[in-house]
């Protein structure tokens, strides 16, 4: 059956997701329209296609153990000079993202993977483009802010065309996957995941 390239992430909901994707494209990042705006839980990982049912079952278990949590983005950061990335910072929800990514990559599951760098939840807005454009992204989004209640994460597959497509969405606690309206109350803080 061959291999597929998978990723697991938390989608940045509308209207924020499209806005940041358009800004990324505007900075000259050619990958912008092929990558939905997201916070990574599992970076691109090549797996055998026949492992997909076990991966989906594993992710359903991870989601069932999770609970909705508040996410808030604010301001920019960069991994330069180590990595050519400018990002919008996750200022609330980072602990929950860290908890989730550890369980996604758990040694007892089918997605065991070492990370190239320590895990740092973020939303990439420029990657591998000219330094001037990276500087512009860093400055122009320095006051950017978005907030929502995160109620799910999703499994994506990268196509031969380089575009990432959602295969399945996993709701926390077995609930619905719709993103609640802004300002909805949250029953549990992020650190309880």
**In this predicted model, what pLDDT tens digit does every residue of 132-183 receive, in sequence order?**
999 999 999 999 999 999 999 999 999 999 999 999 999 999 654 444 444 4
How far apart (Å, rounded) are the C-alpha atoms in residues 43 and 83? 15
Per-residue 3-state assignment (H helix, E strand, C coil) for 155-176: EEEECCCCCEEEEEEEEHHHCC
More confident residue, 173 or 188: 173
pLDDT at 18 over 60: yes
CA-CA distances (angstroms) from residue 193 to 45, 97, 103, 178, 188?
A: 24, 9, 11, 19, 8
How far apart (Å, rounded) are the C-alpha atoms in residues 50 and 98? 28
């Amino acid at each position: 059956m061959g291999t597929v390239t998978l990723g697991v992430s938390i989608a940045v909901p509308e209207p924020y997701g499209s806005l940041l994707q358009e800004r990324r494209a505007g900075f000259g990042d050619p990958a912008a329209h092929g990558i939905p705006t997201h916070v990574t839980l599992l970076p691109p990982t090549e797996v055998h296609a026949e492992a997909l049912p076990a991966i989906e079952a594993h992710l359903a278990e991870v989601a069932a153990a999770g609970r909705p949590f508040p996410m808030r983005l604010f301001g920019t950061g960069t991994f330069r000079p180590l990595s050519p990335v400018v990002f919008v910072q996750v200022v609330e929800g980072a602990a929950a993202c860290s908890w989730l990514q550890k369980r996604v990559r758990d040694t007892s599951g089918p997605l065991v993977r070492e990370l190239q760098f320590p895990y740092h939840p973020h939303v990439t807005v420029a990657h591998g483009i000219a330094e001037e454009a990276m500087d512009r992204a860093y400055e122009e989004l320095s006051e950017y802010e978005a907030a929502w209640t995160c109620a799910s994460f999703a499994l994506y597959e990268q196509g031969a065309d380089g575009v990432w497509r959602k295969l399945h969405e996993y709701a926390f606690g077995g609930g619905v996957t719709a993103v609640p309206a802004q300002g909805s109350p949250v029953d549990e803080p992020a650190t309880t995941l």
